[in-house]
Structure 1
Amino acid sequence: MRAKRVMNMILLILFVALMMLGFYTADARNAGGFWQGWHNILDFPGDVVSEAVTRAHLLPGYFLKYAPSLLETINIAGAATLLGAILGLIASLLATRGLAPVGWITGPVRRVLDILRAVPEIVIALILIFLLGGGPVPAMIAIALHTVGALGKLFSEVNENASLKPVEGLASVGASWLQRMFLGVVPQVAPNYLSYALLRFEINIRASAILGFVGAGGIGYDLRNTMSWGQGKLDEAAAIFLLLFATIVLVDQLSSHLRDRLTHGARVKGARQ
């Protein structure tokens, strides 16, 4: 225990030292410097709030103006989540030991999922924008690829807890691999699949809004334009912030309710059976 405590203390000191060194290095290379400008950190939010209060009567019109962009952002997130969940489900079955059709494929599929999770959506989106041009399609593909990596990992962990008895029973009557998976495994873990997919949908809404800053469409693109210095559209930026906040809170509450029904409802049903 003493050696463990000493090791933990050394790691903590090393972590704090690296964090402070990284902060001072970044501050030294920054154009303005953090210590010289930290007292101005609330200037921009203050300008946004003051303009929103001054032009509060215009906010309902701005809500209607940017509603189509918000809908586009939600559509990007929904399409990316659906595509990523389908591909992630298939990849998770291939990445789970005992479920893959051949044992050697598990390792390569897991490495592909690791790569998809490691590369940020914004990097993939920038590459696709260069190849395909700006718009919602690069954003959808970028988010979908990252979703495949994330959900594939989560789904494979869920698969490991599934009972293999139905799979063995189906194999004994000559069922194919797809039949064994979708009749013997997926029904057991479907509530967890849906729960993780809904959680990922929340994350993808925020990701699709962020990707708009790099020209990938949606409400993030409008937010970037309104937040540009000298545009005089800070009241519109406040309206977009309110729309995003309300949407994220609504989706979060709805998906949390559905996830609770899926997971706890499935447990109650299983206990009754």
Structure 2
Amino acid sequence: MRGEPPIRAVLGLAEGRARVLLGAYDGAVRVRRLQTFAILAAVVCLALLSAYVAEVEPSTFSKNLYRFTNYLYRILPSLTVANLAGDVADWYWRFGVWMRLLIETLLIAYLGTLIGALGAVALCFAASNNFGRNKALRFATRRLLEFLRTVPEVVFALLFVIAFGLGPMAGVLALGIHSVGSLGKQFFEIVENVDMKPAEGVRASGGNWLHTVRFAAWPQVAPGFASYALMRFEINVRGASVMGFVGAGGIGQELISAIRQFYYSDVSAILLMILVTVVLIDLGAEQVRHRLIGLKGASA
């Protein structure tokens, strides 16, 4: 193009050298584009293959979509402006029972999260590369954490229901064991990113492994541990609601009973209670996490 400065003037190099560099750059850009297109093509092919294996048929989906929307319409309560208070009271005719079961669900989630967090703290340092002193122990600990988080909570709940019978205990154990695996991985990744200079200082002053963990690592990882534990509590509240489907206590038992008996208005009432509870917990936990992150940044 006219008025365009020569290549050597732009790069400050001899024209031949500049053209070689620009040619190499263009080649690298072409290779990067080919890699991007290859990755996108692989993603599309895998998505199509997955849809074929899973028997995903858009025609069937569009043909039967009305069934889902029709069910949603059925569970909506009949509320009128003239008798709004009475309609709401009729909608939540078992509010006391549902609230008690919802509180039970929250307690199941809390206790399961507490068990999971304590177990994860006990295992995460042994699983980390910088604090795990024994290679075989580190390998075994990581495989254990993988197993605990791979098995779904519902499977654990079914096993514990068979072993201990129906009730909240099965839900607590199922959530606790699964949370150990999930939090354990997150925790040891936090441990592996700590600044090791304080640890070297503790060791140089004669401290043992426990002293190093307590005085060098723990002040750095505690805010992150608390943040992930709060996030896990949010997840476990939703999980505890599902645990009731297999008889592990909580509001889920009442929800599955209402679904099976076609008590449509009860289904929407229970779902709304669960939704509001989860939203409130998410908002509260988000504020706490932000404060913890802020305190960590201030201390750093």
Q: Same fold (TM over 0.5)?
A: yes
From the CA coordinates, give the structure whose radius of gyration is larger. 2
Say if 1:52 and 1:226 are closer, same or farther in 2 by CA, change over 3 A: farther
2:91 is the alignment partner of 1:39: no
Deviation of 1:52 (Å): 6.7
Say if 1:135 and 1:26 are closer, same or farther in 2 by CA, change over 3 A: farther
Unaligned segments of structure 1, at least 5 residues: 28-32
Deviation of 1:59 (Å): 3.9
Post-superposition CA distance 1:144-195 (Å, at most 9, x none): 1111111111111111121223323333344332232122211111111100
- 2:229 pairs with one of 182, 193, 197: 197
| Mean Cα deviation higher: 189-198 or 167-176 | 167-176
What is the aligned partner in structure 2 of residue 241 from structure 1? Answer: 271
Q: CA–CA distance in 1 between the matches of 2:267 and 2:33?
A: 55
What is the aligned partner in structure 1 of residue 283 from structure 2? Answer: 253
TM-score of the aligned structures, taking structure 1 as reference length: 0.88
CA contact 2:77–2:91 (8 Å) conserved in 1: no
Deviation of 1:75 (Å): 0.5
What is the aligned partner in structure 2 of residue 11 from structure 1? Answer: 42
Q: CA–CA distance in 2 between the matches of 1:35 and 1:61?
A: 36
CA contact 2:120–2:187 (8 Å) conserved in 1: yes
Post-superposition CA distance 1:179-219 (Å, at most 9, x none): 32122211111111100000000000000001111111100
CA contact 1:80–1:141 (8 Å) conserved in 2: yes
Q: CA–CA distance in 1 between the matches of 2:198 and 2:55?
A: 58
TM-score of the aligned structures, taking structure 2 as reference length: 0.81
CA contact 1:88–1:149 (8 Å) conserved in 2: yes
Give the letter for the 1:151 counterpart. Answer: L
What is the aligned partner in structure 1 of residue 14 from structure 2? Answer: none
What is the aligned partner in structure 2 of residue 30 from structure 1? Answer: none
Q: CA–CA distance in 1 between the matches of 2:40 and 2:229?
A: 39
| Mean Cα deviation higher: 146-155 or 9-18 | 9-18
Q: CA–CA distance in 2 between the matches of 1:26 and 1:106?
A: 45
Count of residue pairs the alignment pairs up: 264
| Mean Cα deviation higher: 4-13 or 119-128 | 4-13
Deviation of 1:40 (Å): 1.4
- 1:49 pairs with one of 53, 76, 81: 76
Q: Percent identity?
A: 31
2:171 is the alignment partner of 1:139: yes
Q: CA–CA distance in 2 between the matches of 1:182 and 1:236?
A: 51
CA contact 1:199–1:255 (8 Å) conserved in 2: yes
Q: CA–CA distance in 1 between the matches of 2:74 and 2:207?
A: 65
Give the letter for the 2:41 counterpart. Answer: I
| Mean Cα deviation higher: 141-150 or 12-21 | 12-21
Q: CA–CA distance in 1 between the matches of 2:157 and 2:239?
A: 11
Q: CA–CA distance in 1 between the matches of 2:269 and 2:287?
A: 27
2:142 is the alignment partner of 1:115: no
CA contact 1:76–1:136 (8 Å) conserved in 2: yes
Which aligned segments of 4 or more residues in structure 1 are displaced greater than 6 angstroms?
none
Q: CA–CA distance in 2 between the matches of 1:128 and 1:196?
A: 26
Unaligned segments of structure 2, at least 5 residues: 1-31, 81-85
| Mean Cα deviation higher: 33-42 or 182-191 | 33-42
| Greater relative contact order structure (CA < 8 Å, 6+ sep) | 1
Q: CA–CA distance in 2 between the matches of 1:105 and 1:205?
A: 32
Deviation of 1:26 (Å): 8.1
Give the letter for the 1:223 counterpart. Answer: L
2:246 is the alignment partner of 1:219: no
SS at match of 1:175: coil
Q: CA–CA distance in 2 between the matches of 1:266 and 1:26?
A: 50
Deviation of 1:25 (Å): 6.4
What pairs with 1:73-222 in structure 2 (closer than 5 Å)?
73-222=105-254
